[in-house]
């Protein structure tokens, strides 16, 4: 279960650092335009999602070789499912929108898909925290 525990807490740290600290702050930096922020965000979130997939695989592997409780399995499944929805269901729409903005179309407010993505980020983070606490008890 050590592998699963390590994966969960590294994953929590990455999500907190990137999604809840770096992402909102980059748009407050001097001279960072929407286009620059989106360009940076695409690179950062692509790297984050790759790292998250690796951590999800490590979490699942750690649970397979361990003997997790049903609560641990449930919280891990919620986190992995939230990640899958983000990558497969939401990232393509966000990429299309950022493509339009990067091509010069800066019309309209923020995307509702972005708000849904953030919602899944919160669900994933809560599930990971719960899973981590359960793994430590």
pLDDT digits (tens, 9 = 90+) for 10-61: 999 999 999 999 988 888 888 888 888 888 888 999 999 999 999 999 999 9
pLDDT tens string 27-41: 888 888 888 888 888
Q: What is the DSSP string of the chain?
A: -HHHHHHHHHHHHHHHHIIIIIHHHHTTSTT--HHHHHHHHHHHHHHHHHHHHHHHHHHHHHHHHS---HHHHHHHHHHHHHHHIIIIIIHHHHHHHHHHHHTT---SS--HHHHHHHHHHHHHHHHHHHHHHHHH-
Token pair for 43: 């690179």
Question: Residue 106 has what pLDDT?
Answer: 65
Q: What is the residue extent of each domain of the chain?
A: 2-136
Percentage of residues of the chain with pLDDT beyond 70 = 96
Question: Residue 107 has what pLDDT?
Answer: 65
Mean pLDDT of 92-113: 79
Question: Residue 110 has what pLDDT?
Answer: 64
Contact indicator for 39, 101 with CB cutoff of 8 Å = no
Q: What is the pTM of this model?
A: 0.91
Query: Is it the case that residue 100 has pLDDT exceeding 80?
Result: yes
């Amino acid at each position: 279960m050590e592998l699963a525990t390590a994966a969960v807490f590294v994953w929590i740290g990455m999500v907190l650092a990137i999604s809840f600290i770096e992402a909102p702050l980059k748009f407050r930096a001097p001279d960072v335009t929407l286009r620059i922020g989106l360009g940076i965000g695409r690179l950062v979130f692509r790297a984050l999602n790759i790292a998250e997939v690796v951590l999800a695989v490590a979490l699942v592997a750690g649970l397979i070789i361990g003997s997790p409780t049903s609560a641990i399995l449930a919280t891990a499944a919620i986190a992995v499912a939230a990640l899958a929805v983000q990558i497969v269901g939401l990232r393509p729409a966000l990429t299309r929108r950022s493509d339009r903005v990067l091509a010069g179309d800066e019309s309209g407010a923020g995307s509702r898909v972005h708000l849904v993505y953030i919602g899944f980020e919160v669900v994933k983070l809560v599930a990971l925290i719960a899973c981590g606490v359960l793994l430590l008890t």
